[in-house]
Amino acid sequence: MSPAPIFSAFRQALGEAWAGGAGALLPLGFFAGAAVLVPLGIGTDPATLRAVGPGILWVALALSSLVTLERIFQADTEDGALDLWLQTGAPASAIAGAKTFAHWLAAGLPLALISPLLALMFQAEASADLLRNAALYGLGGLAFYFWGGVGAALSATVRRGGLLISLIALPLYVPTAIFGALAMTDAPGSDSAPLFLAASTLFALAVAPFAMAAALRLAAD
């Protein structure tokens, strides 16, 4: 089997993610908007904001992944691209994984990259920790995208699938959110949290593509 279809699926998804909705700007806008609402809701006390900042960014990251994932497989079923991808002879799991990875690259990674900026707005000290945290947001975002991708594939044929994706993905997001937020505190056990985060992301990368493949075959059926 040639890996060419997998690369092509990746390229098409990247183009689609970039073209649909002003490139990475739309998810970035959503991410920043969701985060910026928080001080309006809970007040501007610097100590409070510093304490909740990292967690708020995890929540905003989870929400924006759900919002951007809604269409990734639904569009494929509507325009017929899914039928073509399923007939390339390449494993559907690899195609689904490549597409999800492309969407993370286009919409998820930019969020991690601007997280230091938002962290500063949440009164974090400017230090190398912000870059480390950005890497953790990137890593955790990957798990969000893959589990969310399972929800997106399962609801690919459902009208108003976005609500369904959220309900399906929420319990699957729990370990990533916990390990990720924990890694950014200085609580006991937070040293090992990045490792647990990495492990749970690897678990998502290993398992989710097969679930997506089964769900996509169902969507095409």
Binding stretches for other proteins (CB under 8 A): 2, 4-5, 7-9, 11-12, 15-16, 18-20, 75, 78-81, 83-84, 86-88, 150, 154-155, 157-158, 161, 164, 167-168, 170-172, 174-175, 178-179, 182, 187-189, 193, 196, 200, 203, 207-208, 211, 214-215, 218, 220-221
Closer to other proteins by Cβ: residue 118 or 153: 153
For residue 141, the minimal CB distance to other proteins (Å) is 17
State the residue for tokens 């073509």: 84
For residue 50, the minimal CB distance to other proteins (Å) is 18
| 72 contacts 100 by C-beta, under 8 angstroms | yes
Closer to other proteins by Cβ: residue 164 or 198: 164
For residue 128, the minimal CB distance to other proteins (Å) is 24
20/107 Cα distance (integer angstroms) = 11
Alpha-helix residue ranges (DSSP H) falling in the chain: 4-19, 25-42, 46-69, 74-79, 81-86, 92-103, 109-121, 128-154, 161-183, 193-220
Closer to other proteins by Cβ: residue 79 or 131: 79
Closer to other proteins by Cβ: residue 35 or 169: 169
Structure tokens at 89: 């002879």
